Structure 1
Amino acid sequence: MFTTRPELVGSYGMVGSTHWLASAVGMRILEQGGNAFDAAVAAGFTLQVVEPHLNGPGGDAPIIGYRADDGHTFVLCGQGPAPATATIDAYTGLGLTEIPGTGHLAAVVPGAVGAWLDLLARYGTLPLADVLSPAIGYAEDGYPLVPATARTIGTVRELFTEHWPTSAEVYLPHGDLPVAGARFRNPQLATTYRRLLTEAQSAGSDRVTQIEAAHRAFYTGFVAEAMDEFLRTPVRDSSGRDHTGLLTGDDLARWHPTEEPTVAVEFAGAQIHKTAAWGQGPVLLQQLQMLDALNVADAEPGSVELVHTTVEVAKLAFADREAWYGDGDVPLADLLDPRYAAERAALVGPTAADGLRPGSPGGRTPRLASVFGDLVDGVWPGRYQGAAGVVGGGEPTRGPFGPEAMRTETTGETRGDTCHVDVVDRWGNRVSATPSGGWLQSSPVVPGLGFGLPTRAQMFWLEPGLSASLVPGRRPRTTLSPALALRADGSGFAFGTPGGDQQDQWTIPFLLHHLLWGADLQAAIDAPGWHSTHVPSSFHPRVSEHLGVEAESRLGSAVLNGLRARGHQVRDAGPWSLGRVSAAGVRPDGLLHAGANPRGMQGYAAGR
């Protein structure tokens, strides 16, 4: 079949990411003799510079890794928790019923820098200077600004000039909008990185000692001090009012990334690994188990029946996410029990199901937030909204509720949302990471640092007793969802995509095409995509589209019309718009392979 580019195959190393510069930097590190963990760190810091509308040093970064010499899989959690004073009463006392999607009140501990440093210290081999230097170079000397970044800055120009002057200083140089494709610099960020490196090197010559010193400089030193001071300054947020923040220097000083085991299920001869249910990753595992129970291997690729079935399965899995997932006591073993999957799969009928239908894992009684309505015959009505949305609210991802000014008529594309990077080295080590948050359009630049803070607290509910209710010190239930697919013979691949709530829907057709139907990585990435927009959004204002489905037109009009006949409200998303998947791994014959997404025209894979 025709593919947009070749699947890369080689024996030395492979990197796939959402930006060609990050992929090139990762490959440079492999060429220097670094391993996959070194390369992922260098690519991750580079993404903070070249995709500032998608992530930043003040963001989040869950990372999944595989160490080849002993088969060790792990999660490094770069998702920071809520501040110690972030109680439900603290927000409701301000007259809020939801945490704003932008500004200081949505800030949690920024975990990305800590997670990248921890990955380098635990599993890398190179000194900090080697992996941080490319990012410093791009911040200092400049890089070509991708069109999506330029468009994003345009949408918040008035916000910057009227309310966020520190952001205007960085992103509106001389008061002008930056031009897509032109060289863009962030000298403040370059200075921050250089100072981190200087303080690291002043701590001594030992590699790990230097990395630990960089962590201290960020979380207790000059970076933390600047954050703490700025958070006491009121700034405008999506509530339409000015607020100070709840995050403090003490919150930053207490936090350190944690290493945790992955969660995995068997599918199509591979173990699929995800984070635990403080992230949404297990919804992919639930979907795969339900599809397995429904004999998805026998389905016709790209058929009405296949798309309908996967959409209905997604609705069931994401309803479980709403009822059960969070940073607390989650019945994950019951949720991933094959018998539970079979029970849930039996609910899939021939037409589009309405409402939200969470299950009862282990006999427990589900509960959803009150905004989803009252339970009637085991179904919650849901919370729906059409295309009109709230400007400046939530994660800047695609979907039915983004502001129309940020969409195109043919694809519905909005300004993006998140980054992703996958790496495999010649020894077989693998890394999958999905950095996000600290978006330039969601939080004002901290004076002198060149980047903003995370806004992930918006994913908490200000309603007590829910699985994802706000509790001080808890991690918000993130949508960030890196992944590994590993076989018993040591083959397998790292994979993932940006996309907010769509991340664990867009990877479904990719996995089916590759693992079940034999497509190579690039062909599986290129295959037509789709997703449900009936699934509740995790981001302010937390609405969804009633029975909505977005599907690429390459599925064909017969398939789109067939879905409409089954009750789905289908939006034609154009031929190339859904998904940002990349992947890199080891084939069963021992050769390395990789692929990257052509949609968005900036993702690339590199390797040899």
Structure 2
Amino acid sequence: MFTTRPTLQGTFGMVSATHWLASASAMSVLERGGNAYDAAVAAAFVLHVVEPHLNGPAGEVPALIAPAGGPVRVLCGQGPAPAGASIAHYTSLGLTRVPGTGPLAAAVPGAFDAWMLLLCDYGTRPLAEVLQPAIGYAEHGHPPVEALGWAVGAVRELFETEWHSSAAVYLPGGRPPTPGTLFRNPALAATWRRLIAEAEAAGGNREARIDAARRIWREGFVAEALLRTAARPVLDSSGERHRSTLTGDDLARFRAHYEDPVTHRWRDWTVCKAGPWSQGPVLLQQLALLPELAPYRSPEYLHTLIEASKLAMADREAWYGDAAEVPMADLLSEEYNARRRELIGATASRELRPGSPGGRTPRLPAVPADAAGSAPSVLGQGEPTIAFNGLTRGDTCHLAVVDRWGNMISATPSGGWLQSSPVVPELGFPLGTRLQMTWLEPGLPSSLTPGRRPRTTLSPTLALRDGEPVLAFGTPGGDQQDQWQLHFFLALALRPPVRGGLDLQGAIDAPNWHQSSFPSSFHPRLADPGAVTAESRLGETLIEELRRRGHRVTVAGPWTEGRLCAVARDPATGVLSAAANPRVMQGYAAGR
């Protein structure tokens, strides 16, 4: 079938990322003898430079890794709420929701430490070598994508009147970054150069220097600069000025770590996700609801996927979070899903219907009366939205890498957006705002709780066949991530192969859609019951059939839904493959 690009195939190495410079940088590391984890770290730090409206080093990252010959592991780079971030503190400030911007919404930064842990434990190259591409683009400049200029333009007035350190970086010459010019962030380049110099001065082998860099981040000059900015009162989306609760002890205590994945077997696939501190198991719950399916892309197929997604997302709202024990085994059990499957009727549901796993009583957050309606299109709150052809779309980043030895990774870096909080002037990047995903209502699995992770939407995926890692994929998209990934995965699983392998590009290019009948994870927590947004390429016949079944369908542009990246490996032949999303015109795969 026709696709926008070919699915790449080779045997040396494959990369897919949401920006071509990250893909190219990762590939250059593979060419110099690095492995998939060296390449992933290099790509991640380039994404901090070229997509600062979508991620930053003080944000967060979950990753699924499959080391050659080893078990699949989850790398958790999601920092917790600071020790002083209690519900009582926030409500004492007159708040009913955590602000979507500003230092008060900052969790403990997690991304940097997670990438360093990965590089130390599974990489092979020195820190200075892996960071060199990012330093070069920050110091000497890169041609900015249109979305970066749009993002800065949307918050320009805030930068000029309040967040002056952000204006100093992102309004060079008083203007947002412009395509066709070179955009630089010298403060960020200087931060990495100083960190490398201090880490190397500490002496020791490669691993010891990476460990020194981690200490410098959490206790040295980086920590000191982060805390100075966190202590300043800053205007945020509440309309008031607030300080962060982040302290030196919070930074010093945090360590990224590994966890076992949550898994579900669907037909001959085993799909691996991060735990329910993320929304990752939503993909698994959708699969558990769908042992049988109508013909691919039939009206019944689309309707069933939309309704299954509503049930899984309702369970996410009632049960997922790091502040409580999540009954994951019950949520994925056949007995539970057989009962839930019976709720999928012939017409669209507009109710939020969580289940009762193991007989437990679900409890939903008390969504404020003003939290109903369409999702926001204002930059600076929620995961950042990117105006594209008159629509709002985009957020976050993704990267996936597989190397010739069989090492594989899928990672979704996010947070620390330039719209989040003022740039830390000494460092060249801002704090994150992930605490906006917590509730200021006690007793919920996702209630704001000191020392606990906010429930995140970040959701990379890794899939196995016959116990062998075969596929790594993911997408930006906030709450939509595990809907778009389900559609991609099923397009692979239910359609014939191409050139003897998985049709990665065809599955990415396939017309996409999402439903939004649940409270958004992001400030101001809006919901839109019964709403479905579909690419026009889905076709008038299918769209009208969805409307006939009661779905309120908004027809979006032909290429607006999803930003998937994927790599794969055939264990029998060693053939590697990769594909990337053509939407927004900046994701690319590379390999040979």
TM range, smaller chain = over 0.9
Quick check: 1:307–1:530 contact (8 Å CA) kept in 2? no
Q: Give the aligned partner of residue 581 of structure 2.
A: 597
Task: Choose which of 388, 392, 409 in structure 1 pairs with 2:380.
Answer: 392
Which of 414, 420, 444 lines up with 2:398 in the alignment? 420
Separation of aligned partners in 2, 1:427 and 1:107 = 38
Equivalent position of 2:518 in the other structure: 535
1:549 counterpart SS class: strand
Matched, 1:334 2:313: no
SS at match of 1:273: strand
Structure 2 counterpart of 1:442: 420
For the residues of structure 2 that align with 1:371 and 1:535, how far apart are their CA atoms? 10
In the alignment, the residues of structure 2 paired with residue 28 and residue 317 of structure 1 have an alpha-carbon distance, to the nearest angstrom, of 40
Q: Which amino acid is 1:162 matched to?
A: T
1:462 aligns with 440
CA contact (8 A) 1:17 1:23 kept: yes
What's the CA shift for 1:578? 0.4
Letter of the 1:315 counterpart: K
2:348 corresponds in structure 1 to 352
Q: What's the offset of the Cα at 1:606?
A: 0.3
Task: Please show how residues 160-559 of structure 1 align to structure 2 within 5 Å.
Answer: 160-292=159-291, 295-296=292-293, 299-327=294-322, 328-371=324-367, 383-386=371-374, 392-397=380-385, 406=387, 408-409=389-390, 412-414=391-393, 416-488=394-466, 490-519=468-497, 520-559=503-542
Structure 1 residue 41 corresponds to structure 2 residue 38:
no
**Quick check: 2:272–2:463 contact (8 Å CA) kept in 1?**
yes
In structure 1, what is the Cα distance between the partners aligned to 2:385 and 2:312? 21
Q: Aligned equivalents of 1:308 and 1:383: distance in 2? A: 26
Shift of 1:237: 0.2
Cα deviation, residue 504, structure 1: 0.2
Matched, 1:121 2:131: no
TM-score by length of 2: 0.97
User: Partners of 1:197 and 1:418 in 2: how far apart?
Assistant: 26
RMSD: 1.4
The structural deviation recorded for 1:131 is 0.7
2:54 aligned residue: 54
* Pairwise CA distance, 1:518: 2.6
TM-score (norm 1): 0.94
Question: Against the structure 1 CA distance between its residues 504 and 144, is the aligned structure 2 distance closer, same or farther, given a 3 Å change threshold?
Answer: same
Q: Per the alignment, in what secondary structure is the counterpart of residue 64 of structure 2?
A: strand
Query: Post-superposition shift, 1:113?
Result: 0.4
Contact 2:375–2:520, Cα closer than 8 Å, also in 1: no
Inter-partner Cα distance in structure 2 for 1:464 and 1:389: 29
CA 1:325/1:372 → structure 2, altered by over 3 Å: closer, same or farther? farther
Q: Aligned partners of 1:107 and 1:392: how far apart in 2?
A: 14
Report the counterpart of residue 140 of structure 1 in structure 2.
139
Distance in 2, matches of 1:448 and 1:174, equals 20
Letter in 1 for 2:582: P
State the AA in 1 paired with 2:536. S
Is the contact made by 1:302 and 1:528 (CA closer than 8 Å) also made in structure 2?
no
Deviating beyond 4 angstroms after TM superposition, the runs of 4 or more aligned structure 1 residues are 387-391
Secondary structure, aligned partner of 2:42: helix
| Structure 1 residue 325 displacement after superposition | 0.2
Aligned partners of 2:128 and 2:378: how far apart in 1?
Answer: 42
Cα distance, 1:241 vs structure 2: 1.0
Inter-partner Cα distance in structure 1 for 2:381 and 2:554: 22
CA 383–165 in structure 1, closer or farther in 2 if over 3 Å, else same: closer
Kept in 2, the 8 Å contact 1:68–1:490? The answer is no
Distance of aligned partners of 1:146 and 1:388 in 2 relative to their CA distance in 1, 3 Å threshold: closer
CA apart distance, 1:533:
1.5
Per-residue deviation, 1:546? 2.3
Check the 8 A contact 1:497/1:506 in 2, yes or no. Answer: yes
**Matched letter for residue 586 of structure 2:** Q
CA distance in 2, matches of 1:167, 1:77: 29
Aligned length: 585
Q: Distance in 1 between matches of 2:6 and 2:121?
A: 34
Q: What letter matches 2:531 in structure 1?
A: G
Task: Write the letter of the residue equivalent to 2:19.
Answer: H
Separation (CA, whole Å) in 2 of partners of 1:239 and 1:384: 18
Aligned-residue offset at 1:175: 1.7
Partner residue, 1:403: none
Q: CA–CA distance in 2 between the matches of 1:386 and 1:489?
A: 42
Matched residue of 1:515: which SS? helix
CA distance in 1, matches of 2:228, 2:14: 42
Cα distance in 2 for residues equivalent to 1:355 and 1:234: 40
- Residue identity matched to 1:597: N
Distance 1:32 1:135 in 2: 16
Mark the runs of 5 or more structure 2 residues left unpaired by the alignment. 498-502
**Structure 1 position 336, deviation (Å):** 1.1
Deviation, structure 1 residue 389: 6.0
Judge conservation of contact 2:7–2:579 (CA < 8 Å) in 1: yes
Deviation at 1:301, TM superposition (A): 2.2
Mark the CA change 1:207 to 1:391 in structure 2 (over 3 Å): closer, same or farther: closer
2:10 is the alignment partner of 1:10: yes
CA displacement at 1:491 relative to structure 2:
4.8
Secondary structure, in 3 states, of the residue corresponding to 1:419?
coil
Q: Could you tell which deviates more after superposition, 2-11 or 243-252?
A: 243-252
8 Å CA contact retained: 1:227, 1:249: no
Q: 2: distance between equivalents of 1:486 and 1:95?
A: 49
The alpha carbon displacement at 1:372 in A equals 6.8
- How far the C-alpha of 1:514 sits from its partner, in A, is 0.6
What is the match of residue 66 of structure 1? 66
Within 5 Å, which residues of 2 pair with 1:91-106? Answer: 91-106=90-105
* Distance (whole Å) between structure 2 residues aligned to residue 383 and residue 454 of structure 1: 23
Cα pair 1:491 1:590 within 8 Å, conserved: no
Alignment partners' CA distance in 2, 1:221 and 1:348:
55
Which residue is 2:500 aligned to? none
- Opposite residue 569 of structure 2, the aligned amino acid is V
1:563 aligns with one of 546, 555, 565: 546
Q: CA deviation at 1:205?
A: 4.0
**Closer, same or farther: CA 88–212 of 1 in aligned 2, 3 Å:** same
Q: Residues 458-482 of structure 1: CA distance to partner in whole angstroms, max 9, x if unpaired?
A: 0010000011001100000000001
Distance 1:566 1:44 in 2: 43
Residue 184 of structure 1 aligns to a residue whose secondary structure is: coil
